[in-house]
Amino acid sequence: MHPVALIPTPDALPVAWGWFQLLLLPTFFLHILLMNVMFGAAFIALVSHLRAPADTTPCTAEISQKLPFTIAFAVNFGVAPLLFVQVLYGQYIYVSSLLMAVFWLSIMVLLIAAYSLAYVYKYRFAELAGWRVVVAGLITACLLAIGFCFTNNLTLMQTPAAWSRYFAQPGGLLLNLVDPTFWPRYLHFMVSAVAIGGLALAAYFSWQHRRGMADAHPWIRYGCRWFGYATLVNLAIGLWFLLALPAGMLTLATGAGRFFLLLLTGGVVLALVAVRLGFSLRVMPALACALGTLALMIGARSLLRTMMLAPWFSFDQLPVVPAHGPMVLFSLFLAGGLVLIGWMVWSALRCPPAGEVRP
């Protein structure tokens, strides 16, 4: 069967597609940033416990306290891009989700397991002692499995030619491991999470240092080293990813190809600057460059999806049936929500260090 026959007809959009792309990119940036902090922190805690199973360091103690928050934020900030990606690419992502339905639905189970274990890790940290490595290991494994499912779905959605494999394997268990970009893409995401997780720790301890913590310095250095070495490893994985891309993606012959290479080059240059700043413990400038890299890489990823789907799809094909009312209402609620979140964060930051109130 020709793959085109498997692509459903897209639903009409209420406003031009550009609005949804404008909402997708920043919300995905926030999701990936928070996912990085969450996974990176869990992984770093696991490695610390593997090195010294019974030791309590300020780093693992802080991670144990903050991990449930990072999971909650990463998940909640995942919902927004999920909505927008479904609006723009519904006819692709609904199909790929069905083809791998068992894995896709298992995300909920894995997430509940990771979240529950994160609370065990937080509230039983002292009693767990040598078992911390087991709990941190299980959390990390669940998060790794969730990332695996996401990469599977997002690579499958952009390769309709692979969908006809469903007829040989109709049980909702379709994996996209034959795609040469699968492993480098997945590793690129997970290693970048370790890097940003390390930098987040460095930023957290330099904030604590400014608030008077005496022994913060070794942990700032520790976080910066995780960031620097993981980013250097990721440069090699990124190269593997580039070499695995289908022919015609890395080209100066098309506007999209040129823009893709521009974003990629900018991202790599900023990453190298960030690594240098990180190794010299200049945390905030390193963070600014790392966030710039993340933004440019997300732009490159989006452009890559457009180029990969070009044989099947272009945004101009999406029908628009104007309905501005819901969009205006949505924008008003979005603005109100952002103001409230800003106020909440501002209030939380003004809280004294031991200011958490628990029943």
Binding residues (CB under 6 A) for ligand HEM: these are 24, 28, 31, 35, 39, 74-75, 78-79, 81-82, 85, 107, 111, 143, 146-147, 150-151, 154, 185, 189
Please state the closest distance from residue 28 (CB atom) to ligand HEM, in A: 4
Calculated CA dihedral for residues 152, 156, 162, 163, nearest 10 degrees: 110
Single-letter residue type at 90: G
Min separation Cβ 9 and ligand HEM, Å: 21
Backbone angles phi, psi at 56, to 5 degrees: -110, 120
CA dihedral 122, 123, 129, 131 (to 10 degrees): -70
Nearer to ligand HEM, 81 or 160 (CB): 81
CB of 178 to ligand HEM, least distance (A): 16
CB of 302 to ligand HEM, least distance (A): 7
Residues 111, 144 contacting (CB under 8 angstroms) = no
Residue nearest ligand HEM (C-beta atom): 78
Cβ closest to ligand HEM, residue 143 vs residue 277: 143
Query: Which residue type sits at 243?
Result: L
Picking from 256, 262, 80, 99, the residue whose alpha carbon sits closest to that of residue 173 is: 99
**Which residue from 173, 143, 178 is spatially nearest to 159, judged by alpha carbons?**
178
C-beta closer to ligand HEM: residue 42 or 286: 42
Q: Tokens 């919300």, residue?
A: 27
Q: Which is nearer to ligand HEM, 208 or 234 (CB)?
A: 234
Q: How far is the CB of 216 from ligand HEM (least distance, A)?
A: 28
Report the residue number, 81 or 228, with the smaller CB distance to ligand HEM.
81
φ, ψ of residue 355 to 5 degrees: the values are: -90, 0
Query: Of 147 and 278, which has the nearer Cβ to ligand HEM?
Result: 147
User: Closest distance between ligand HEM and the C-beta of residue 154, in Å?
Assistant: 4
CA distance 69 to 195: 19
Q: How far is the CB of 67 from ligand HEM (least distance, A)?
A: 12
Beta carbon nearer to ligand HEM, 118 or 203: 118
142 near 39, Cβ under 8 Å? no
Instruction: Please give the Cα distance from 199 to 205 (Å, whole number).
Output: 10
- Pick the closer one to ligand HEM by CB: 81 or 267: 81
Return the structure tokens found at 83: 């909505």
209, 214, 219, 221 alpha-carbon torsion, rounded to 10°: 80
3-state secondary structure at position 280: coil
Contact by Cβ (8 Å): 220, 204: no
Smallest distance from ligand HEM to CB 56, Å: 26
